[in-house]
Structure 1
Amino acid sequence: MQITVIVATLGRRAEADDLVEDLANQTRLPDRTIFAVTTEDDAPDRDSRIDNETLICTTKGLCAQRNAGLELAIGSSDIIVFFDDDFVPHPTYLARLEAAFDKSPDVVGMTGLVVADGVCGPGLTRVQAVSAISAHAEAYPTGYPRETDVNGLYGCNMAMRTSALGEKRFDERLPLYGWLEDLDLTNQLLGEGRLIKLDRLIGAHRGVKAGRVSGIRLGYSQIANARYLLAKGTTTRSQLYGHLVKYPMVNAVRSFRPEPFVDRRGRLRGNLIGLFDLALGKSKPEKILEL
């Protein structure tokens, strides 16, 4: 199998350099590694062990940068792996992934077990992420064998067969952070085969806050992107209705005593603008570029 790793990164040079090191330490090296950036300043140093490439993209945004990497790699790859720049994979990640795809030809996409996720808090240091991975690996030396069928893959670590991807791409109408872009694309793969969460693939998601969009923009995306994908029909209605109700409620309650690492009031303001536009029939994901 020809495995290509694609990483879209913006404003996180240190994290990108760390990921290069993690990929170079894989027991099964990637056949190709592409860092999709919008400026050379964001590009990690080249490592001769994986010969990582830098792709300069003309359009900024997670979907656009990932698509640019896809266009470069899809013709010569069997498996495309997407990692967030702040994801820390265990050294066996790619080896176990290849074995799992080889064993199950009906599986077209998979995601791993995130043993620690800094997105849910202030973020993890690299030491914390590595410690969490090491503790889990020590408890399960050959990996926890659970395999679960899912309706979508977690965007920080997800892999897809190029034969199933075909002409499917990330929707560039979901700009910047691309909220829900992972569910949008990977749900479409269900027509080609199974999607699974494989707990033998382990890593940690640091949830670094640098490089993320503003609170008001994210809050608007939480509403507008969910509404857009409901109309598009690429994800389950229950998932998206949950987004439309859940986030305004959570942001409203927590805005009274916001966490120091989350702009709750900005997110709530974005939610309210999104709901107002929704009521007027003017909701569109691209509006965050104007906010």
Structure 2
Amino acid sequence: MSAADTIDAHQHYWDPARGDYGWLTPDMPSLYREFGPDDLAPLRQATGVARTVVVQAAPTVDETRYLLRLARDDDSIAGVVGWIPLDSVDALKIIDEFARDPKFKGVRPMLQDLPDDTWIAHAPRADAIERLIERDLAFDALIFARHVPSLIEFVRRYPKLRIVVDHGAKPPIRDGVDTAWQPWADGIAQLAALPQKLYCKLSGLATEASANWTDATLQPYVEHLVAHFGVERLMWGSDWPVLNLNGDYTGWHAAATRLIAHLEKAGQEAIFGANARAFYRL
């Protein structure tokens, strides 16, 4: 696999001074500073990652505009997944605005942070979701296992929408496999079996694990994702710099490489680039 083909399907850039990252506070010293393309460049070089998909980290339209400005000036940013108020009367206007930028590839409501776990099943405007489909834009689902029933309802309502589950649906790995496995494992199986053929990101697992995690810690979760989504619907992402809370870029890249090393070369190449390229229309 050449470096030119390797894609990080999920990472973030931010500047706390912008003031719209409600979750990002000074008591998170490893994260509470500006992170931009110059910070990631040496890590990409060390791991052979050529391009990335930058994903929103604040539920504001202004942050998406900020990411798109970064993308216009940096060839390493292959695409941006932004935020749009999908339940707003302004949703269609904002979708049309962003869709004019060739690097705008999809949207992500921050479902994990919403007080209503069923929001995705009833709140988004139908015309806004249909406009995403018309514009050939993707949808990132940031969920836990408790969101699976509502996401399934949403998926069935919009069978033409391209959807990817972020971070393997965030299994609570730190609780130990006996506690973490269900209902997460069944939820993954249900999502992967939908006829719409959802994708899933092999990302975020290190953050959900205890400190000093190893390949063995993550192995059962990776194996379950591979077994259900297959090599044709998984895409590797770093979730950097959130990853810095419980790991580092080169370490997670190396672990993921080892954890899928038993797969055929074509499958490894799909997970580390080809699937992201196809899904996001990069």
TM-score norm. by structure 2 comes to 0.25
TM-score norm. by structure 1 comes to 0.25
Higher strand share: 1
